[in-house]
Amino acid sequence: MNLWVDTLRWLHVIGATVLFGTGAGIAFFMLMAQRTGRADLVAHVAGTVVLADAIFTAMAVVVQPITGLLLAQAIGWPLSEGWIVLSLLLYVVTGLFWLPVVWIQIRIRNLAQQAATENAPLPAAEKRLFRTWFICGFPAFAAVLAILWLMVTRPEIGL
């Protein structure tokens, strides 16, 4: 193709990789910290997770639709193509799960910090929030996997 299309495609793949990789890494480290039951460790990891989401995930969330739109225009794919429409819908679904998860992560961090400061166990509210956070991850992660599949295969989907 040309340099512009190759650059857009590369940026789009990097953004998708960051979304997938950061999401998987965050889930793993939060789960491992939670399993220890240590308030200080949960507070530290949750703080790192909040920061990683603010830096990496949020940036990729902004970059993905921009590079996707520019790439579709440059290649000549109409945005009404079924696989593009489905990708965008799944992107919205992912966002609908991600936004509350960000708030939950902040709340988990704060509750764990408070427990660590007071040398107390993690409160029941933190554990409930973690379960909700964990459950929200499944549909969001599945949606991201589906988007990646759609991006790679670009199947004919009639709408």
Q: List the chain pLDDT tens, one digit each, 159 residues.
A: 699 999 999 999 999 999 999 999 999 999 999 999 999 999 999 999 999 999 999 999 999 999 999 999 999 999 999 999 999 999 999 999 999 999 999 999 999 999 999 999 999 999 999 999 999 999 999 999 999 999 999 999 987
User: Locate tokens 């929030």: which residue?
Assistant: 129
Cβ pair 83, 157 in contact under 8 A? yes
Which residues touch 96 (CB under 8 Å, ≥6 apart)? none
* Entry pTM: 0.90
The structural domains of the chain, with segments of one domain joined by +, span: 3-153
Q: Report how far residue 55's alpha carbon sits from residue 104's, in angstroms, rounded to the nearest whole number.
A: 17
What are the Cα distances from residue 40, in Å, to 19, 95, 126, 152? 27, 29, 13, 41
What SS3 state is found at 124?
Answer: helix
**What count of other Cβ atoms lies within 10 Å of the Cβ of residue 24?**
13
